[in-house]
């Protein structure tokens, strides 16, 4: 019975996964500002393959680094990912949220996943096929989003960091003055590969030194 309950919880994205997320499909976000810490997001390529591939591409190209959480609404969500107008340097609240990446808009990849706290969805315009680079992380359950926005992942570590992100003005659609930001965004597999390469280089250096 306990195993069945755990499986149901994992399937509905309410509880922690039974197995650790694959590093290749884990996004690691370092948040800075009023909130400070690491958020790890399990990406879901089986649910939204094109959107997940886009997020990983932008992360690997460094385009998400220093991008602000420009729209943050109490008891709702924190939105970020405007790689065109959402950068911390030269941040202008008038334009944040209307930008996109250099790549084409993405076709919707809707699913029946419930928008619980910690679920990550792709922002879009009125056209359902207009998601591009921006995404949002949920603070709370909002079922009216179900089937309306593409789910790309869920927070597996650091929901406390998500909850601490500086909130915006709810009377101004959550717009944030001097917002928190994503200091760095990386795919976990790349972090692990870089660490392994560094360790190997250090071992080779030590070996060379010892044989001199």
pLDDT per residue as tens digits for the range 44-57: 999 999 999 999 99
Query: Which residue would you say has higher pLDDT here, 11 or 89?
Result: 89
pLDDT at 21: 86
Calpha distance 160→150 (Å, rounded): 23
Mean pLDDT check: name the lowest of 16-20, 128-132, 207-211.
16-20
By the 8 A CB rule, do 17 and 10 touch?
yes
Sheet holding 67-68, edge to edge: 67-68, 181-187, 26-32, 37-43, 151-157, 119-122, 135-138, 77-80, 71-73
Query: Which residue would you say has higher pLDDT here, 135 or 2?
Result: 135
pLDDT at 15: 44
Query: Which residue would you say has higher pLDDT here, 212 or 70?
Result: 70
- Mean pLDDT, the chain, rounded, equals 91
pLDDT at 211: 62
pLDDT at 52: 98
pLDDT at 9: 41
CB neighbours of residue 50 within 10 Å = 15
**Strands 67-68 and 71-73, bridge-based pairing:** unpaired
pLDDT at 50: 98
Mean pLDDT check: name the lowest of 11-20, 78-87, 150-159.
11-20
pLDDT at 210: 66
> How many helices and strands in the chain, by DSSP H and E?
4, 9
pLDDT at 8: 39
pLDDT at 206: 74
| Whether the predicted pLDDT of 4 surpasses 50 | no
| Whether the predicted pLDDT of 166 surpasses 50 | yes
| Whether the predicted pLDDT of 10 surpasses 80 | no
């Amino acid at each position: 019975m306990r195993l069945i309950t755990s499986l149901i919880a994992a399937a509905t994205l309410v509880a922690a996964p039974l197995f650790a997320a694959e590093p290749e499909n884990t996004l690691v976000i370092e948040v800075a500002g009023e909130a400070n810490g690491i958020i790890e997001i399990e990406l879901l390529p089986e649910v939204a393959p094109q959107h997940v591939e886009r997020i990983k591409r932008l992360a690997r190209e460094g385009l998400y680094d220093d991008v602000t959480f420009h729209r943050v609404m109490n008891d709702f969500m924190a939105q970020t990912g405007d790689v065109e107008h959402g950068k911390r340097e030269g941040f202008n609240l008038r334009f944040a949220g209307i930008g996109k990446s250099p790549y084409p808009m993405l076709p919707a990849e809707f699913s029946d996943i419930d928008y619980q706290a910690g679920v990550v969805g792709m922002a879009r315009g009125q056209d359902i096929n207009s998601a591009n680079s921006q995404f949002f992380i949920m603070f709370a359950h909002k079922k009216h989003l179900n089937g309306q926005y593409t789910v790309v992942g869920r927070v597996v570590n650091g929901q406390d960091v998500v909850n601490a992100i500086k909130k915006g003005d709810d009377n101004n659609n959550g717009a944030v003055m001097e917002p928190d930001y994503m200091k760095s965004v990386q795919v976990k597999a790349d972090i692990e590969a870089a660490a392994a390469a560094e360790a190997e280089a250090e071992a080779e250096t030590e070996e060379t030194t010892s044989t001199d």
